[in-house]
Amino acid sequence: MKVQPQRHVRPPRTRANLPDVITSRCKIIGYHEAGKGIREISHLLGISRDTVRLWVRRYEEEGHVLTMPRPGRPRVTTPGADQQIQRAAERAPLLT
């Protein structure tokens, strides 16, 4: 199975998108499309059933097995506060 990302989307360069990890996800999808069940795929690949379910669901929803950026934790400081922190750090670098 060959996975082609969409042209306008570039996956982030993270451990989650290393070739070995992508290959494992492709095996999950290949076994699933060959009619194997979640439990059997889990046993064959030595991974949890929850992981198999996760990647089957993501593949069905998104059409690929790449990890795409998702929103993270909300900001705690405002951009203005960030600038104040930066200026304070530049004025007294030994205190930060």
* 78 assigned to some structural domain: no
The answer to whether residue 84 scores a pLDDT higher than 60 is: yes
Using a pLDDT cut of 70, give the percent of the chain over it: 81
pLDDT 10s digits, 20-50: 888 899 999 999 999 999 999 999 999 999 9
Residue 85 domain-assigned (yes or no): no
Please indicate, yes or no, if residue 89 is contained in any of the structural domains.
no
Residue 83, in any domain of the structure: no
Q: Please enumerate, as own/partner, the contacts of 46-50 that have beta carbons within 8 Å and a separation of 24 or more.
A: none
At position 16, the amino acid (one-letter code) is: A
Instruction: Tell me whether residue 51 is in a domain.
Output: yes
pLDDT of residue 18: 73
**What's the longest Cα–Cα distance across the chain?**
64
**Does 90 map to a domain?**
no
CATH number assigned to the domain comprising residue 33: 1.10.10.10
Per the structure, the complete domain to which residue 55 belongs is given by 12-69
User: Does the pLDDT of residue 64 top 80, yes or no?
Assistant: yes
User: Higher-confidence residue: 68 or 50?
Assistant: 50
Does residue 64 lie within any of the structural domains? yes
* Average pLDDT of span 11-16: 63
Q: Indicate the average pLDDT of the chain.
A: 84
Q: What is the percentage of the chain residues whose pLDDT exceeds 90?
A: 51
Q: How many domains does the structure of the chain reveal?
A: 1
Domain-located, residue 7: no
Assigned token pair, 17:
């998108």
